């Protein structure tokens, strides 16, 4: 007897040879999500990602708060990269409300975004290290991350959730000795990055393990709509900072990191090389920044958008983040949709893990630059 | 089949449509439009839009793209706006696969950035918007093409089994797979032809209406 | 004003002290003394000054404490002391505890951290004790459908096998718990138990993660046992003995690592794999299979496994020292026991105390132990070092290494040993012997 199942439900067939593993949500190698993995011996037959354990309905919440109240909660999906996830929201709201941002504020926003990108990538790298069983690579980036956290604390007053970028500029001006301090720490950090290269990226065991595993070809990377480091590791030269420069990125000197291999090693290396570029951007922005001036255009209280919609995107640590904001003459947005890099890269997971060895699962999974909380929003 | 499926998209002027929406939304809220007006006046706020209406020049490149698609499909589509780097086109759901194929093959957009649903309870419709981008074409790097369609909305939804359905674009743009699954569970829009239309983010035992619809209220708000 | 004892009275306090002393004396004389005498009647007592120690004479230590020394000395040569204290469990556990502490501080320094810092004031030296108490006080959780007897037995078997391994390691001349003539074969036999224990407990726990971890442990250990045995054949060929003490004695002039470096390298790599240490910690790879075959262990069961692991670490390091680094051999650096204390005793003012049993340990034994410990700690540090440097490898890479490369290298090592033997350079009756 077969019963008609409602759409969205499915029955599972069981095979004796195949073992189903629930990687997550209580698993040291999963994060706040579940991968339903079927293994035949040591080989993964299929993988079904099951996110949603930290779905908080940020988009729904945004419909109930006005444009300013939305700032603190919209950065919650990625507290390590909070400037970058707020950036497109600020850009979009500025476009909706027709606000001009002061020149100095644009540079400060870029510096905050790049510092935050380094914080995120260091955190990601730390987890990548421990996923591959390299405990030193867990401790070093986690320690060096403190440098940038201290810098952003001096800028914004908060260690992790800064809420520093607001529509119309930044919340407050830089502290007095910021420029000198930032340059010193960036210089030290570049030295440390070279040590990472020696202990981690040139490690023969790491290379043997990640090179050639989970290969995503250029065609597939485009077809699957991946973004961020995954896309650039597969040989597509696409960076929103270059292609659609927002604020002052077109004035700044940096280049896009592209690797052709498309394997786990390339995916782990692209974000690392991007940190060098971030340091370059920070240096350049500090040099070109106007030394004084206003940093924030004051908004009207409870500002209202017109009957309009806007789609703005930036490049975050995990790829492009796009905000689709619909407004309808009310102080609250009618609809906010956040298109995040993690969610867009999620589609690669069943694709890449199929036929892969179980031992490659952590490297492939974390190489996708996937942040479960952000994907769930 | 109810009459809702046969209802065509009303082709209106953009400004009219938006003003319609704003009135209707104010009504649909817990307070009526009059109450809302009073509420905002008490707080010393005016209801007029803050944005000064400035006519912007229509960019040439984007206009050429929009002309290309409108010359091909004519009445079947409506170009909502053409701005710097952004084009938005609305089409009926019957035509969306053809339009999407044309966008992929002729205009060289190759991936979807997001699939958003927007609920309009007053016109009893749900809008599904595909934001498409391109990696392969150098000129299209900064462009986003918004392809929208409207599906009928039912007041008592039964996701998957009611008339809220539209053809899936999964065979045209592979990258919409998970986005459409999210749209299905959050708005109850069933995508026909999608191979794996299961829930993604919501728990298996979710028994309420799709949560991103406007009649799903957050507690305490 | 303290509120701990608000009703405090000095008279009551002193009274309670006298009460306590009264009860101690009463219980000791009524219960303690009879027990001591019963025990002394049944223990074979040593002969001191041509006089057999009877229980009555033994009790004279109360009048002359120096008479305890011969008793202690004779006790130190009993098997029970060897098993429990010196070359056996106590010594190994102490070294293992020191190893854990050193590992944590050492790794912390490599990773620019401080490691344990607060517990015990001095660099967190009591952290391990704290962890031990924590493990003991934790609840032991057994999975619902586990095979309970085997699951309970697993940690005990593991510690037992590790203890058996420890008992075979000679620390100083004559100081070894078990000294069979086929000592090396016994070592191989004991090592063979570990994969069986891992698979048994992994199966008994009725969990997928333990199952995969157990299978990985089985594959890995079996793959590495063969190169392990083959790499040691060179030593056996050259020293002409399977007895570990005789192997050490054969290295009096030169260590086998000088002639068999390839064997030593192969053996060192197999040690890492057998101990499941980074980079071969696949059976416990936490990002893939939670904690491997240890997933379902909790509380003191996990503590026992950890104890067994570190005992095993000590035993393998000791085996490496015994086979390749000359065991207890080394220049005499331990100062001799002052002769005048033995002959004249110690004069403290008007009293001259003579200690007939001194010295408790002879110079050779202390010197040997010192060299053994120094070498073992060095090897242990080398085993710990990769943890801060390498990532984990994959199961196919590890099996490929074990079955192809290491076995090949081990055979090359055997050919070198045979060449040296038949050329008449080394081995029984060789030029250098």
pLDDT in tens, A96-143: 888 888 888 889 989 999 999 999 999 999 988 888 888 888 889 988
Banded pLDDT at C141 (limits 50, 70, 90)? confident
Chain A neighbors of C393, CB-CB under 8 A:
205, 208-209
Which of B180, B201, B210 to mutate against chain A (most A CBs within 10 Å)?
A: B201
Q: What is the mean pLDDT of chain A?
A: 86
- Binary contact (B110, A223; C-beta < 8 A): yes
pLDDT-derived band of residue B40, with 50, 70 and 90 as boundaries?
A: low
pLDDT at B3: 40
The answer to whether A243 contacts B142, with C-beta atoms less than 8 Å apart, is yes
Question: So what's the pLDDT on residue B32?
Answer: 56
- Given a cut of 70, whether residue A327 has pLDDT beyond it is yes
In angstroms, what separates the C-alpha of A29 from chain B's closest C-alpha? 20
pLDDT at C428 (0 to 100): 63
Please check whether residue B85 touches A, CB under 8 A. yes
The neighbours of chain B, by the rule of 3 or more Cβ pairs under 8 Å, are A
Q: Which of B25, B49, B115 to mutate to test the interface with A (most CBs of A within 10 A)?
A: B49
Is the pLDDT reported for residue A268 higher than 70? Answer: yes
Cβ-based burial of A102 (10 A; exposed 0-12, middle 13-18, buried ≥19): middle
Reported as a pLDDT band with limits 50, 70 and 90, residue B38 is: low
Residues of C with CB under 8 A from a CB of A: 107, 110-113, 208, 212, 278-279, 281-282, 285-290, 387-397
Going along chain B from its start, the domains and CATH numbers come out as 56-192 (3.30.460.80)
Over 90: is that where the pLDDT of C20 sits? yes
pLDDT level of residue C17 (50, 70, 90 thresholds): very high
pLDDT (mean) for A17-32: 81
pLDDT of residue B20: 42
Task: Quote the pLDDT of residue C53.
Answer: 67
Sign of CA dihedral B190, B196, B200, B206: positive
For residues A257-282, average pLDDT: 89
Instruction: Choose from C38-42, C54-58, C97-101, C376-380 the range with maximum mean pLDDT.
Output: C376-380
Q: How far is CA B127 from CA A170, A311, B151, B213, C167, in A?
A: 34, 16, 6, 11, 77
State which of A296-310, A313-327, B14-28 shows the largest mean pLDDT. Answer: A313-327
> Which residues does chain A have within 8 Å of residue C283's beta carbon, measured at their own beta carbons?
none
Chain segment C307-349, per-residue pLDDT in tens: 889 889 999 999 999 888 888 887 888 777 777 777 777 777 7
Where does A213-302 have alpha helices with state H? 218-223, 229-233, 240-243, 264-288
CA dihedral A94, A98, A104, A106 (to 10 degrees): 40
Find the range with the poorest average confidence among A200-209, B47-56, C130-139: B47-56
Q: Do chains C and B touch (3 or more CB pairs under 8 A)?
A: no
Q: Give the residue from chain A lying closest to C285, CA to CA.
A: A133
Put simply, whether B62 touches A (Cβ < 8 Å) is no
Q: How far is CA B202 from CA B189, B207, C117, in A?
A: 15, 10, 45
* Residues with Cβ within 8 Å of residue C417, at least 6 apart in sequence: C233, C234, C235, C237, C238, C259, C260, C263
At C432, the pLDDT band (50, 70, 90 cuts) reads low
In terms of Cα–Cα distance, which of A88, A33, A31, A38 is closest to A316? A88
Q: Is C282 within 8 Å of A359 when comparing Cβ atoms?
A: yes
Nearest to C390 among A139, A140, A205 (CB): A205
Q: In the A/B pair of chains, how many CB contacts fall below 8 A?
A: 147
- Confidence (pLDDT) at B12: 39
> Of A104, A80, A76, A102, which is closest to residue A89 (Cα–Cα)?
A76
pLDDT at C4: 61
Higher pLDDT among residues C275 and C45, named by residue: C275
* Cα–Cα distance measured from residue A193 to residue A196, given in angstroms and rounded to the nearest whole number: 5
Asked if A339 contacts A59 with a C-beta cutoff of 8 angstroms, the reply is no
Number of helices (H) and strands (E) in chain C: give both, helices first: 19, 4
Q: Which of C107, C208, C282 sits opposite A21 (nearest CB)?
A: C208
pLDDT-derived band of residue B76, with 50, 70 and 90 as boundaries? Answer: confident
Residues of C within 8 A of A357 (CB-CB) are 394-396
Q: What is the pLDDT of residue C46?
A: 66
C-alpha to C-alpha distance for C219 and C221, rounded to whole angstroms:
6
- pLDDT of C49 > 70? The answer is no
**By CA distance, what is A206's nearest residue in C?**
C391
Mean pLDDT, residues C83-111 = 85
- List pLDDT tens digits, range B145-186: 888 898 888 888 777 778 888 888 888 888 888 888 888 888
Residue C387 with chain A: CB contacts under 8 Å: 135
Question: pLDDT grade, residue B36 (50/70/90)?
Answer: low
Alpha-helix runs per DSSP H in B29-93: 33-42, 60-73
- Is the pLDDT score of B78 beyond 60? yes
3-state helix, strand, coil in chain B (%, to 5): 35, 20, 45
Minimal C-alpha gap between C150 and chain A (Å): 24
Binning pLDDT at 50, 70 and 90, where does residue B21 land?
Answer: very low
The answer to whether B and A touch (≥3 CB pairs < 8 Å) is yes
Name every chain C residue with its beta carbon within 8 A of the beta carbon of A353.
Answer: none
Q: Which residue of A has its CA nearest to C210?
A: A21
pLDDT value at position C316? Answer: 92
pLDDT at position C433: 56
- Chains in contact with C, where contact means 3 or more Cβ–Cβ distances below 8 Å, are A
Calculate mean pLDDT across residues A150-162. 87
Q: Establish if B51 touches chain A: CB-CB under 8 angstroms.
A: yes
Contact: B211, A225; criterion CB under 8 Å: no
Please provide the size of chain B in residues: 221
pLDDT confidence tier of residue B7, bands split at 50, 70 and 90? very low
Strands A319-328 and A43-50: unpaired
Per CATH, which fold does A63-376 belong to? Answer: Cytochrome-c3 Hydrogenase; chain B (1.10.645)
Residues of A in contact with C395 (CB under 8 A): 42, 357-359
Query: Residue C31 — very low, low, confident or very high, per pLDDT cuts 50/70/90?
Result: very high
Is B178 part of the contact surface with chain A (CB cutoff 8 Å)?
yes
| C286 contacts A135? CB cut-off 8 A | no
| Domain residue limits, chain A | 63-376
Q: Which of B24-38, B202-216, C324-338 has the lowest mean pLDDT?
A: B24-38
Residues pairing with C213 in the sheet:
none
Residue of A nearest to B19 (CA): A307
- Using a CB-CB distance cutoff of 8 angstroms, which residues of chain C are in contact with residue A132? 287, 391-392
Kindly tell me if the per-residue pLDDT of C27 is higher than 90: yes
| Whether pLDDT at C41 is above 90 | no
What pLDDT does C40 receive?
73
Q: How confident is the model at residue C110 (pLDDT cuts 50, 70, 90)?
A: confident
Q: Give the tens place of pLDDT for each residue, C392-405.
A: 888 888 888 888 88
- Whether A311 sits inside 8 A of B201 (CB atoms) is no
pTM, two decimal places:
0.82
Q: Which residues of A touch C (CB under 8 A)?
A: 19, 21, 27-29, 42, 129-140, 143, 199-200, 203, 205-206, 208-209, 357-362
C6 or A301, greater pLDDT: A301
**pLDDT band with cut points at 50, 70 and 90 for residue B23:** very low
Helix (H, G, I), strand (E, B) or coil at C304: helix
């Amino acid at each position: 007897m077969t019963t008609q199942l409602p759409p969205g439900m499915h029955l599972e067939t069981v095979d004796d040879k195949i073992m189903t593993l629930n990687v997550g949500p209580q698993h040291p190698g999963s994060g706040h999500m579940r991968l339903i993995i079927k293994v035949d011996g040591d080989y993964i037959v299929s993988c079904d990602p099951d996110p949603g354990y930290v779905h908080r309905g940020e988009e729904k919440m945004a419909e109930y708060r006005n444009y300013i109240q939305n700032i603190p909660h919209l950065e919650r999906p990625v507290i390590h990269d909070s400037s970058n996830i707020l950036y497109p929201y600020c850009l979009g709201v500025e476009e909706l409300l027709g606000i001009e941002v002061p020149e100095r504020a644009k540079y400060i926003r870029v510096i905050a975004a790049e510092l935050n990108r380094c914080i995120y990538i260091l955190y990601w790298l730390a987890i990548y290290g421990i996923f591959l069983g390299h405990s030193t690579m867990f401790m070093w980036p986690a320690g060096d991350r403190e440098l940038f956290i201290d810098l952003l604390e001096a800028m914004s007053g908060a260690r992790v959730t800064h809420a520093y970028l607001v529509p119309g500029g930044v919340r407050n001006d830089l502290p007095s000795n910021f420029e000198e301090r930032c340059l010193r720490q960036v210089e030290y950090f570049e030295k440390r990055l070279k040590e990472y290269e020696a202990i981690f990226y040139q490690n023969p065991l790491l290379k043997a393990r990640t090179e050639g595993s989970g290969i995503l070809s250029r065609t597939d990377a485009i077809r699957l709509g991946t973004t961020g480091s995954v896309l650039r590791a597969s040989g597509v030269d696409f960076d929103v900072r270059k292609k659609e420069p927002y604020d002052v990125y077109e004035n700044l000197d940096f280049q896009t990191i592209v690797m052709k291999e498309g394997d786990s090693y390339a995916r782990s290396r692209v974000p690392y090389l991007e940190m060098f570029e971030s340091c370059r951007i920070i240096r350049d922005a500090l040099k070109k920044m106007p030394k004084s001036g206003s940093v924030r255009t004051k908004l009207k209280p409870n500002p209202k958008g017109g009957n309009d919609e806007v789609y703005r995107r930036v490049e975050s640590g995990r790829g492009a983040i796009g905000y689709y904001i619909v407004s309808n003459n009310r102080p609250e947005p009618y609809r906010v949709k956040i298109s995040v890099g993690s969610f867009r890269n999620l589609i690669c997971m069943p694709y890449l893990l199929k036929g892969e060895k179980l031992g490659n699962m952590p490297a492939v999974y974390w190489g996708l630059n996937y942040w479960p909380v952000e994907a769930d929003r | 089949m109810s009459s809702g499926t046969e209802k065509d998209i009303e082709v209106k002027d953009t400004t009219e449509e938006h003003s319609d929406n704003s009135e209707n939304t104010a009504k649909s809220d817990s307070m009526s439009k009059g109450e809302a007006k009073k509420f905002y006046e008490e707080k010393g706020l005016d209801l007029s839009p803050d944005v000064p209406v400035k006519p912007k020049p229509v960019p040439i490149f984007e206009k050429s793209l929009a002309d290309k698609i409108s010359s091909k499909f004519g009445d079947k589509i409506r170009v909502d706006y053409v701005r710097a780097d952004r084009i938005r086109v609305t089409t009926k759901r019957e035509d969306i696969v053809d339009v999407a194929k044309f966008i992929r093959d002729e205009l060289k957009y190759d991936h979807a950035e997001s699939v958003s649903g927007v609920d309009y309870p007053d016109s009893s419709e749900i809008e599904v918007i595909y934001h498409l981008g391109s990696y392969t074409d150098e000129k299209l790097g900064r462009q986003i093409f918004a392809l929208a369609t409207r599906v009928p909305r039912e007041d008592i939804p039964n996701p998957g089994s009611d008339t809220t359905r539209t053809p899936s674009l999964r065979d045209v743009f592979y990258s919409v797979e998970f986005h459409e699954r999210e749209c299905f569970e959050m708005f109850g829009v069933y995508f026909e032809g999608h191979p794996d239309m299961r829930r993604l983010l919501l728990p298996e035992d979710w028994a309420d209406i799709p949560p991103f619809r406007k009649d799903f209220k957050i507690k305490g708000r | 004003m303290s509120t701990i004892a608000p009703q405090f009275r000095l008279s009551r306090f002193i009274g309670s002290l006298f009460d306590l002393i009264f009860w101690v004396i009463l219980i000791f004389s009524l219960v303690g003394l009879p027990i001591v005498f019963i025990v002394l009647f049944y223990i074979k007592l040593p002969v001191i000054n041509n006089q057999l120690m009877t229980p009555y004479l033994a009790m004279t230590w109360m009048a002359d404490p120096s008479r305890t020394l011969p008793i202690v000395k004779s006790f130190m040569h009993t098997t029970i002391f060897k098993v429990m204290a010196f070359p056996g469990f106590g010594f190994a556990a102490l070294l293992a505890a020191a190893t854990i502490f050193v590992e944590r501080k050492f790794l912390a320094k490599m990773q620019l951290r401080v490691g344990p810092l607060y517990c015990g004031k001095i660099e967190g030296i009591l952290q391990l004790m704290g962890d031990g108490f924590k493990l003991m006080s934790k609840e032991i959780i057994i999975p619902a459908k586990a095979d309970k007897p085997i699951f309970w037995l697993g940690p005990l078997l593991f510690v037992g096998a590790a203890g058996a391994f420890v008992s075979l390691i000679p620390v100083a001349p004559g100081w070894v718990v078990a000294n069979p003539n086929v000592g090396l074969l016994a070592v191989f036999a004991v090592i063979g138990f570990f994969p069986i224990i891992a698979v048994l407990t992994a199966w008994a726990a009725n969990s997928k993660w333990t199952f995969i971890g157990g299978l990985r442990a089985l594959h890995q250990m079996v793959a590495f046992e063969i190169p392990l045995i083959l790499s040691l054949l060179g030593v056996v060929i050259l020293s002409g003995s399977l007895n570990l003490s005789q192997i050490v004695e054969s290295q009096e002039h030169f260590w086998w690592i000088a002639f068999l470096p390839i064997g030593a390298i192969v053996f060192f790599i197999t040690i890492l794999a057998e101990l499941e240490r980074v980079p071969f910690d696949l059976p416990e790879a936490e990002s893939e299979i939670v904690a491997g075959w240890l997933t379902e262990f909790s509380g003191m069961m996990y503590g026992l496994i950890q104890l067994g692991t570190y005992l095993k670490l000590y035993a393998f390091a000791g085996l490496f020292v015994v086979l390749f680094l000359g065991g207890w051999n080394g220049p005499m650096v331990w100062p001799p026991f002052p002769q005048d204390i033995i002959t004249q005793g110690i004069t403290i003012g008007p009293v001259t105390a003579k200690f007939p049993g001194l010295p408790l340990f002879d110079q050779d034994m202390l010197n040997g132990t010192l060299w053994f410990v120094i070498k073992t700690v060095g090897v242990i540090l080398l085993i710990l070092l990769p943890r801060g440097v390498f990532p984990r490898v994959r199961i196919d890479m590890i099996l490929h290494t074990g079955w192809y490369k290491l076995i090949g290298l081990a055979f090359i090592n055997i050919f070198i040993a045979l060449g040296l033997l038949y050329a008449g350079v080394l081995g029984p009756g060789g030029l250098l012997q």
